[in-house]
Amino acid sequence: MKTIGLIGGMSWESSLDYYRILNELIKEKLGGLSSAQCLLYSVDFKPIEQWMHNNKWNEIANHLTIIAQKLEQAGADFILICTNTMHKLFAQIQANLQIPIYHIADTAASKIKELGLKKVGLLGTMFTMEEDFYKIRLQDKHQIEVIIPNQEERKEVDRIIFDELVLGKITDPAREIYKKIIINLQKNGAEGVILGCTEIPLLIKPDDSTIPVFDTTQLHAEFAIEKALKD
């Protein structure tokens, strides 16, 4: 079994799910007392969140690169960045490693293409929804058209992530807001919706939508286990 390196803590609420899913999948595939061989570096999210909102992305890139290098030195065979937004820095971090980072958007794209979908909605932080780093990868590498909610809806999606979900606060009113936004994305042609923030699957489940939802936490972890068990 290969060793999975995890950069977590952004937030620890979703990193907990990564650890759980990885171990459940290994147990399911190998049985008995088998569990996932992994290294988790869980960051202090507070300064990173402050850097994000002060547009200090170079500071974040440098910080996460050092962490990724520590995981590499500790024996990780590959790395998962356990958050969608930080894939904005994917290329900068990857350039300083000898081992691969597996991009979370690619794992979502594989499932979307498996279902034969061509146009999907994207929910995430304001950075993920409004900047191009995520959408362009899906469009250029995977030929998947991406649409996002309107401005007021984007503000609500982002507010709920930072004011509630990263703090472990899961509420019915927030769920109803997201469900309405998903309905509007469907009206605008979305055939499915990417839950493009690893906290959103804590709130939104498949039964909350009449179109497929793509849980990036689950899909990223599933991909990692495939790689970890591949000869």
Residue 123 sits in which domain range?
A: 104-215
At 205 the pLDDT is 96
Q: Are 157 and 147 in contact (CB under 8 A)?
A: no
| Identified catalytic residue from 82, 83, 216, 217 | 83
118 and 86 in a single domain? The answer is: no
CATH label of the domain that carries residue 199: 3.40.50.1860
133 and 170 in a single domain? The answer is: yes
127 and 112 in a single domain? The answer is: yes
Catalytic residue status for 83: yes
Catalytic residue status for 85: no
At 178 the pLDDT is 98
| Identified catalytic residue from 82, 85, 107, 197 | 197
97 and 117 in a single domain? The answer is: no
Give the global pTM: 0.93
At 94 the pLDDT is 98
59 and 125 in a single domain? The answer is: no
At 15 the pLDDT is 93
The total number of structural domains that make up the chain: 2
pLDDT mean for each 10 residues of the chain (231 residues): 97 93 96 96 96 96 98 98 96 98 97 97 97 96 97 97 94 97 98 96 96 97 96 70
140 and 209 in a single domain? The answer is: yes
Closest CA to 130 of 108, 150, 159: 150
User: How many other CB atoms sit within 10 Å of the CB of residue 68?
Assistant: 22
86 and 132 in a single domain? The answer is: no
Q: Are 78 and 102 in contact (CB under 8 A)?
A: yes
72 and 115 in a single domain? The answer is: no
At 197 the pLDDT is 93
